Amino acid sequence: MLGIDSDNGDEFINKQLLEWSRQNQITFTRGRPYRKNDNCFVEQKNYDVVRKTVGYGRFEGEKAAEALADVYRFLNPLLNYWYPTMQLIGKDKLPSGRYKKIYAKDPKPPYKRLLESPDISGECKEELRRRAAALNPIELKRQLDIARDRLLKLCVKEANIISTKDT
């Protein structure tokens, strides 16, 4: 890992993470508060991955943290091994001053891109293949849906508790 591009909240930035980044010579960037364009990669993934999966609810407490961890336990392998992504390969500057993004023609999951990389060792590629062979994308998706439903029910339950306290 060469760098971490973080959102700007306390949940993403803390002394331990900053110290670990320095010790491991990892570049750590973050956006400025209320400046969505500072960290477009983080904001794009927040929408594409987080918001599309779990919505915009606020999850608080230990039960919610455990439920969210379950969601990511199934979502991460789906994203990394099975869901294809577009790879940005360049940008052309247009006469208007704007940029046109150029993407690779063949979307692939990150796992496939790693297998094609000459920078990854044969041992690492074999481990990736072993892990991919052990995954069942249909079962992962089914478990993800169950975990997401459990998380969203907690959010609704918490909202109902708060609204009854207010009345």
pLDDT at 32: 59
pLDDT beyond 80 at 73: yes
pLDDT at 162: 47
The more confident residue out of 165 and 56 is 56
The one-character DSSP state at 68 is H
What is the C-alpha to C-alpha distance for residues 146 and 71, in angstroms, rounded to an integer?
8
Tens-place pLDDT, residues 99-120: 898 888 889 999 999 999 999 9
pLDDT at 136: 97
All residues at 6 or more sequence positions from 75 whose CB lies less than 8 Å from its CB, including other chains = 49, 53, 144
pLDDT beyond 80 at 81: yes
The more confident residue out of 165 and 116 is 116
The more confident residue out of 140 and 161 is 140
Coil, strand, or helix at residue 128?
helix
Percentage of the residues of the chain whose pLDDT score is greater than 70: 76
Which domains does the chain possess?
1-56 (3.30.420.10), 61-167 (no CATH)
The one-character DSSP state at 27 is E
Pairing type for strands 99-103 and 88-93 reads: antiparallel
Tens-place pLDDT, residues 27-63: 877 655 666 555 555 566 667 777 788 887 777 888 8
